[in-house]
Structure 1
């Protein structure tokens, strides 16, 4: 996808929760040692978790004063996503 409109490049605007989810996925998956996941499962868990969290879009130069969603909330949503994907793989 081309992230350009009206001559402006929007590549630098990102959902702050993307990086947080990516960083916490290994930790939460370690809580499910019997789960034999594949790439599609991980992608589904990632997308489902982001869909359960409020979007937090920021620009590259945005100053973030506080984070309304805690890391523990991200972990809870990741756990819920893992359980969902395990129950219904390849949704």
Structure 2
């Protein structure tokens, strides 16, 4: 498990992630590794999910990291954007 230190505001596909329960927009991050097994159990797939925990109410949201093609930079970029919140 990998954890980004700090508090983040998260944008997924250029939309701000907001907690469904308390409408807060700051999250802690960690990476979760899961193994998906099909019904015949011969096929296994390793999934890496990005887990975001609301710093206000503790609700957890999980997203699979994917890439999209950015026309401006002509590169594949992540659909998830992390903006660190610095508290003074």
Per the normalisation by structure 2, the TM-score is 0.27
Per the normalisation by structure 1, the TM-score is 0.26
Tell me which protein shows more helix as a share of its residues.
Answer: 1
Tell me which protein shows more strand as a share of its residues.
Answer: 2
- Structure with higher RCO (Cα < 8 A, 6+ apart): 1
